Structure 1
Amino acid sequence: MPKINVARLVAPGKPLEVGLADKPVPGPNDVLVKVAACSLVPNSFNVINGYTPFVMQDFPAVFGLDVAGTVEAVGEHVIDLEVGERVYVDPWLTCNTCHQCRRGRTDLCPYGCLRGYMAPTEHGGQLINQYPLGGLSEYVLSPAAKVARLPESIDLLTASRFGYVGTSFAALLKAGLGPGKSLLINGVTGTLGVAAVAIALGMGATKILGVGRNRELLERVRQMAPGRVETISSEDGVDLVAWAKERTGGIGVDAMYDCLGMGGDAGGTSALLRAVKDGGGAALVAGGAVGDVTQTYMEVLMQDVHAKGSNWFNAAEIDRMIAMIAAGVIDLSYMEHRSFALSEVNEAFEFVGSRPGGFVNVVVLPGESGTAAA
């Protein structure tokens, strides 16, 4: 059987080991994708080092979440994908038979897991080992339904970031953002936050307020659209609710997006809900935040501010987002790609673990040449 190059996580906290694995063969409903790029985000560093409570696949595990590449082969029952097509591989795997999946809420599937990454619950541990090859591999297998076509105008390095870009896209839809509306982003300088600014600009938001800590990165965020985007450091000692209301005529923002990093203070999130205007919405995606988000009974009754969770996106949302990026409506040119060969995978994780900020896209290129086609 042909062999392929992979990077395996032997145990949390241990260096990944580069070696060989059998080249997979697609099942009847699967697609085999030749990986051009696998993006790493800061939380990847937390996961491989055991800093998160999530369930992982059996060790040694071929790690790697987000993948972009080209279709190498398709299963005998796949009828609408062809060899050679450029694709993004959605790593969110679901059972497709539970109550939530059957009513269209695949994001709530109790067995849901992220291929090559983790499962949020023990139930997901039953599914994650069915597709054991993550993106740190020359090839990945995927159910055909989880593969999204990419137009030629989108390069594969950018597309390898679509898991986190898509997370922000879906969350802003849930928060009710649209043309002419205002948005507050808590955690604006991170991977999710910077993507949310670009998406919100494309959605027609007229005022985007960003809260973060790193003043240098906050200024870079502001420069994405001076005038429409304003930022502030949470370490400035300013009343953030009052600051947001002052910039929205005293009524508050239409929507709030909370995307704090691992260990973020949920108490700050709870306080910032008071910066959302009556009848507005909020979307929370910070799976590593610590603490409680609370509203009093009267706040819920009289202010009607809805806080929703948003952990991923669905197929319709990723296709819609890709179309908007391809048309130039959403501009992702802010990304600075930092590429590593598969042999440099541990250096890549060390770099992304240093939290370079949401403008930098850390990408591992599993191909032998160490370069990926655009």
Structure 2
Amino acid sequence: MRRGMKAAVLRDTLNMEVMEWTERTIGKEEVMLRVACCGICGTDQHIYHGHPGSAEVEPPIVLGHELAGVIEAVGENVAMLQPGDRVSVDPNIYCGSCEYCRSGRAQLCERLQAVGVTRDGGMAELCVVPAANCYKLPDHVSLMEGAMVEPLGCVLHGFKKLELRATQHVLIVGGGFIGQLFLQLVKAAGVSRITVSEPNSHKRNPLLALGAHAVVTPFDAEDAKGMINSADVVIECVGRPESVELAVAAARKGGQVLLFGVASPDARAAFSPYEVFSKELRIMGSFINPYTHEEAIALIAQGIVRIEPLISHCFRLNDLPEVMASYPQLNVTKAVIMQE
């Protein structure tokens, strides 16, 4: 059965409209979700401006890959879920048969599909998703927290690449939402010192409250000088050439550099290959969130990662065209769409 609903539809680059939209028919292995909360991700902004997401995007489409809600209907072959279940959605759909999927690297799937990227997502009243991508939420985890499981799962995938020890100094470049998630995981790992490089002075006290030992700014000459060759582990969460260059320069000999921030496809960073060679650096990338959803829910449920203090803006579905057009000027740490 196809159902009409209200959705924020990306009709073309820089063109989003709230309109009546027809949701896809529920397949035998799918469920229909009434969306309660959907996050606005930096990737949604990339797509809005005409860049690819985790896969190529073909408008018209409903964006929104960070979502949670309540199941309204289930396909005939769905046995583990039922109407009324509160669930968080892992948006990534892997083919299961390409060389990457078959070698345990599903995040590199050659035929990757994703809710809110290649098929309609959570910026709507309803969303049809594979039942296998739904994870039930504990009663004490809110649906807003459930929507934030996806970005935490992505952070967790990157975090697991790092080798952390109690003696280390960790530098996080960028104190926004992603940097704040990394900060909480690094704090829980028990490292010796955590520094966050963040130019926005309004984020200083929240970062210190989350566990940073120091907050510095890359625009201060003394702070910038002090970061050079200072950290055993550097986590880059911005995705700009200058922040990537800082990450490499800040790593000590034998250091680890995780490039997590999503850069524009045409961005280029300049650093010395000799520096990478002579410091014997490990430089790593991290892409999406393969099978980290369940663990991310547990981290929230146990209070190891706090979500609610990180949310700076809440919008309604009708706000989205204006919000997406003016997003860079809104000074957002993290924004979510809460349904009526």
Q: TM-score range by the shorter chain?
A: 0.7 to 0.9
In structure 2, do the counterparts of structure 1 residues 365 and 56 end up closer, same or farther at CA, with 3 Å as the change threshold? farther
Alignment partner for residue 283 of structure 1, among 251, 258, 280? Answer: 258
1:7 and 2:28 correspond = no
C-alpha deviation, 1:296, in angstroms: 3.2
Q: Which moved more, 1:274-283 or 1:323-332?
A: 274-283
State the secondary structure of the residue aligned to 2:183: helix
State the secondary structure of the residue aligned to 1:281: strand
Find the counterpart in structure 1 of residue 234 from structure 2.
256
CA distance in 1, matches of 2:178, 2:219: 20
1:154 and 2:141 correspond = yes
State the secondary structure of the residue aligned to 1:176: coil
Letter in 2 for 1:3: G
C-alpha deviation, 1:24, in angstroms: 3.4
Is the CA contact 1:30–1:144 (under 8 Å) kept in the aligned structure 2?
A: yes
Q: Could you list the per-position Cα deviations for residues 85-136 of structure 1 after superposition, in whole angstroms to 9, with x for gaps in the alignment?
A: 211111222222101011221111122244223xxxxxxxxxx2xxx32111
1:212 and 2:190 correspond = no
CA distance in 2, matches of 1:184, 1:107: 26
CA distance in 2, matches of 1:45, 1:5: 21
Find the counterpart in structure 2 of residue 24 from structure 1.
24
C-alpha deviation, 1:305, in angstroms: 2.2
Alignment of structure 1 residues 292-331 onto 2, 5 Å? 292=269, 294=271, 296=273, 299-300=276-277, 303-315=279-291, 317-331=292-306
1:177 and 2:164 correspond = yes
Is the CA contact 1:348–1:362 (under 8 Å) kept in the aligned structure 2?
A: no
In structure 2, do the counterparts of structure 1 residues 204 and 330 end up closer, same or farther at CA, with 3 Å as the change threshold? farther
Alignment of structure 1 residues 85-100 onto 2, 5 Å? 85-100=85-100
Percent identity between the aligned chains? Answer: 24
Tell me the TM-score normalised to structure 1 length. Answer: 0.80
Find the counterpart in structure 2 of residue 120 from structure 1.
none
Q: Could you list the per-position Cα deviations for residues 173-228 of structure 1 after superposition, in whole angstroms to 9, with x for gaps in the alignment?
A: 2122365643211122x221122112222333342111122122234322333xx4
1:193 and 2:179 correspond = yes
CA distance in 2, matches of 1:20, 1:91: 23
CA distance in 1, matches of 2:223, 2:215: 13
Q: Could you list the per-position Cα deviations for residues 260-314 of structure 1 after superposition, in whole angstroms to 9, with x for gaps in the alignment?
A: 14xx115x423432433444322212231521365636843x6432111101112
Find the counterpart in structure 2 of residue 346 from structure 1.
321
CA distance in 2, matches of 1:298, 1:348: 42
CA distance in 2, matches of 1:110, 1:27: 23
Is the CA contact 2:241–2:270 (under 8 Å) kept in the aligned structure 1?
A: no
State the secondary structure of the residue aligned to 1:174: coil
C-alpha deviation, 1:232, in angstroms: 0.9
Letter in 2 for 1:231: V
Is the CA contact 1:181–1:204 (under 8 Å) kept in the aligned structure 2?
A: no
Alignment gaps of 5+ in structure 1: 118-127, 246-251
State the secondary structure of the residue aligned to 2:72: strand
Please tell me the root mean square deviation across aligned C-alpha atoms, in Å: 2.6
CA distance in 2, matches of 1:364, 1:139: 13
Letter in 2 for 1:144: A
Letter in 1 for 2:200: N
Is the CA contact 2:152–2:181 (under 8 Å) kept in the aligned structure 1?
A: yes
Q: Which moved more, 1:24-33 or 1:103-112?
A: 24-33
Find the counterpart in structure 2 of residue 202 from structure 1.
188
In structure 2, do the counterparts of structure 1 residues 4 and 298 end up closer, same or farther at CA, with 3 Å as the change threshold? closer
CA distance in 1, matches of 2:48, 2:166: 39
Alignment partner for residue 150 of structure 2, among 163, 173, 182? Answer: 163
State the secondary structure of the residue aligned to 1:77: coil
Alignment of structure 1 residues 67-106 onto 2, 5 Å? 67-106=67-106
CA distance in 2, matches of 1:179, 1:165: 23
